[in-house]
Amino acid sequence: MNTDQNEAKRINPGTPVVIVMHSPREKCWGVLGEINASGIFFRGIDLNAFDDWIGAITHDEPFIGITDMFLPMWRIERITRDESAGGVPSLADQFELRTGKSILDM
């Protein structure tokens, strides 16, 4: 793999991600802002609220949307890139298909 391909596979600021936390177990989805030794900054939503949030956007209903968050590193279990796999669109793609908006504009 060349350097450009390696760079494309990194999880950089602006990348849609799924974050899994422990103590308590939670999952969030959003756009990464920054990773450092103390934790991560990102703009996102609890994964359990994802479908309700998209439904509220498509029907122009009030709903608490994505927010800026900081998660301390001791809570982070895993950060994965939000990617399409096996014919299933990524959450970012699903958001765009259902709302006509890009998550990067939210």
Instruction: Rounding to the nearest 10 degrees, give the CA dihedral for residues 88, 44, 49, 53.
Output: -90
Q: Which domains does the chain have, with CATH numbers?
A: 10-105 (2.30.30.100)
Each residue's pLDDT expressed in tens, for the chain with a length of 106 residues: 455 555 567 899 999 999 999 989 999 999 999 999 999 999 999 999 999 999 999 998 888 889 999 999 999 999 999 999 989 999 999 999 999 988 888 7
3-state secondary structure of 90: coil
